[in-house]
Amino acid sequence: MRSISILGATGSVGDSTFRLLRKHRADWRVEALTAQCSATKLAELAKEFDARIAIVGDEACLPELREELAGSGIEAAGGRAALIEAAARPVDITMAAIVGCAGLAPVMAAIEQGGTIALANKEALVSAGEVMTEAVARHGATLLPVDSEHNAIFQCLNGNDLAEVRMITLTASGGPLRLLSTDELQRVTPDQAVAHPNWDMGAKISVDSATMFNKGLELIEAHHLFPVGLDRIRILVHPQSVIHSMVEYRDHSTLAQLGPSEMMVPIASCLAWPKRMETPCEPLDLAKIGELTFFQPDEDRFPATRLARAACEEGGATPAILNAANEMAVAAFLAGQIPFTRIAAVVEDVLGQSNHTPRPATLDDVLAIDAAARSQARAILETA
């Protein structure tokens, strides 16, 4: 029996993880489950899987969680310190699925225990790439990528020497809006932006997919996970989402990982690594799919990938600033405060105001940069 903690248990990655755990229930012991609030759902999951502790990030939700867990013998806790303590508990694998920069401190706590972290929080690595990778090396931790694209690259590399790699290709579905004109994009509603054609995801990541910021963040994440050089990482739009990424080697042989558009596949890859495990997913029927198509990204209508590549090239604090500004702009769009096309514009405005920010050396540095960028974004949004 292996032990697992799931940070962000009530989100879409958590849902997919639990579907796999139910199929392999006898193989797993659940240590800690966390959520921002969602106390009722968190308690139900904690009781179903007999977790040792359940934690809500929002302490205002703790009384409800305690009431839901009364008599179960499961410990309840709340607040940022409790989240970090839970993440630091020694387990065989930590599923890190807290959305946004809020997941950074818990992920670092798990890394400092020297364990295996299945990383579904790309924003943590984007914001604190060098700080995090240095911590992984220092503490002997193992990072396994959960994002379907990075997991695909991980599988295609299969332990091969990065010096043999000529090109890594991140595929992008293009999201639900890829065929709209610039004028049509200005009138996009939140409901349209979150209606992804291939993937079932939360609102924030769905909007990121629609703007292509998701792929921009993944570019930065890939740069840290697979350091072949930014000039050897490219993005290709692949609307069918069948090929999740590709690795071309120096002999021009290209390996591609194919699979259904279902997060259980990369999650299963991480949970079973270095082995494999059964999933309830339907197998690919390539004859039924019929054809696979590919296009270059349109960085005029969707400038997010251009901004992300420039931020990654600049390095230092810039990727953290880009991520923070994007989180603020996406929240504003979902709240009806700004139009869809203003998301990238807000990010670019914040980047333009953040010159000469020192490179972060610690987690506290990253959090300070994140807070300052959010403040700048807030000021820009207040004038929108």
* Distant-in-sequence, close-in-space partners of 267: CB < 8 Å, separation ≥ 6: 13, 16, 17, 20, 95, 118, 120, 146
Select from 110, 109, 236 the least CA-distant residue to 172.
236
Does the structure show a pLDDT above 80 at 355? Answer: no
Query: What pLDDT is recorded for position 384?
Result: 67
CATH 1.10.1740.10 describes domain 169-262+298-382: yes
Q: What is the pLDDT of residues 56-114, one digit of tens each?
A: 999 999 999 999 999 999 999 999 999 999 999 999 999 999 987 788 999 999 999 99
Q: Percentage of the chain surpassing pLDDT 90?
A: 91
Q: Report the sign of the C-alpha dihedral through residues 286, 290, 296, 299, in that order.
A: negative
Whether pLDDT at 375 is above 90: yes
Instruction: DSSP for 138-157, please give it.
Output: HHT-EEEE-SHHHHHHHHHH
Task: Return d(Cα 108, Cα 122) in angstroms, integer.
Answer: 13
Whole-model pTM: value is 0.92
Query: Residues with Cβ < 8 Å from 79, sequence gap 6 or more?
Result: 57, 59, 62
Report the CATH number of the 2-146 domain: 3.40.50.720
Confidence (pLDDT) at 202: 79
The answer on pLDDT for 252 being more than 90 is yes
At 228-245, the pLDDT tens digits run 999 999 999 999 999 999
Rg value, the chain, Cα? 20
Tell me the one-letter amino acid at 70. A
What is the SS3 assignment for 95?
strand
CATH topology agreement for domains 2-146 and 169-262+298-382: no
pLDDT of amino acid 203: 87
Would you kindly state where each structural domain of the chain is located, as residue ranges?
A: 2-146, 169-262+298-382
